[in-house]
Amino acid sequence: MRKKIVAGNWKMNTTVAEGVELAKAVAAGSAKVPADVKLIIAPPFTHLVPVAEAIKGTAIGLSAQNCADKEKGAYTGEVAADMLVSAGCQYTILGHSERRQYYGETDAKLVEKVKLAIANGLSPIFCVGENLEEREAGRHFDVVTEQVKNVLYTLSAEDMAKVIIAYEPVWAIGTGKTATAEQAQEIHACIRKVIAEKFGALSEEITILYGGSCKPSNAKELFACPDIDGGLIGGAALKADDFIAIALSY
């Protein structure tokens, strides 16, 4: 049985005080969520320590939104994987399209990041997804396949088992335009096949999340798809009620 996950990517939103309040509200709502659905929240770096405290004693996982591609040292402005662990994280998002697009993250950098995250005990939530132009040109399967191969094929099976994949079509992020359940399912199935080509039956164990304008009104249909194992939620994760409602859609 694959793990079902609903993860909230808060992106660059909330002050520390607002973030702690949001985390507490998610913690209060999490009591209603069935035990087989894992909740994860990914606040900004500055919030990690107090948010870890706010969700202590709950089953909610804590994730960062990024980590450095270097272990430590003179890399001003960067945050290393072992720092995230020491702040209370068990996960980190890596390769989000906003990082690829606005901060020039390449597959080569992501290989380093994914490896360092895993070496330090974090599970990466590794994001892939095509942009609008690529989708319109019918290249979405190829783009996503390349992103998966370029980074995840460099891992051992043991390390691959720790990875969570998130498919986030760039054209659906923050646009209110969700991929249809059919569009999402066919890419998820493709990703699982690409993982199977290298890692065999392990592919059946890998959680693949959908992200992109996922909300309470469309989560049920998406989560009902055989290869969709949950969601990576942006905007709707900033409201505890909506985030919990999405988790209750399973």
Q: Which of 115, 147, 234, 247 binds ligand 13P (CB under 6 A)?
A: 234
Q: Is 47 part of the annotated catalytic residue set?
A: no
What is the helix (H) or strand (E) element at residue 47, kind and residue range?
A: none
Exactly one of 96, 130, 134, 188 is catalytic; name it.
96
- Specify whether the CB–CB gap between 27 and 55 falls below 8 A: yes
Task: Tell me the number of residues near ligand 13P by CB under 6 A.
Answer: 14
* Helix 181-199 with 140-152: angle, nearest 10 deg: 40
Residue number of the CB closest to ligand 13P reads: 234
Radius of gyration of the chain (CA): 17
- Going by the DSSP 8-state scheme, the letter that residue 40 receives in this structure is E
80 lies in the binding site for ligand 13P (CB under 6 A): no
9 lies in the binding site for ligand 13P (CB under 6 A): yes
Q: Which residue, 206 or 214, is less far from ligand 13P as judged by CB? A: 214
30 lies in the binding site for ligand 13P (CB under 6 A): no
CA distance 154 to 174: 31
Exactly one of 98, 105, 130, 168 is catalytic; name it.
168
Give the x-and-dash track for 115-154 against ligand 13P (CB under 6 A).
----------------------------------------
CB of 230 to ligand 13P, least distance (A): 12
CB-based burial label for 25 (10 Å; 0-12, 13-18, 19+): middle
19 lies in the binding site for ligand 13P (CB under 6 A): no
CA distance 169 to 131: 6
Instruction: Extract the tokens encoding 43.
Output: 């606040």
Q: Which of 43, 44, 95, 212 binds ligand 13P (CB under 6 A)?
A: 212
217 lies in the binding site for ligand 13P (CB under 6 A): no
CA distance 143 to 187: 11
214 lies in the binding site for ligand 13P (CB under 6 A): yes
CB of 156 to ligand 13P, least distance (A): 27
211 lies in the binding site for ligand 13P (CB under 6 A): yes
Give the x-and-dash track for 166-185 against ligand 13P (CB under 6 A).
--x----xx-----------
Which residues on neighbouring strands pair with residue 61, listed in sequence order?
40
* CA-based nearest residue to 82, from 26, 120, 111: 120
Residue 88: other Cβ atoms inside 10 A:
16
Active site residues: 96, 168
Per CB under 6 A, residues contacting ligand 13P are: 9, 96, 168, 173-174, 211-214, 232-236
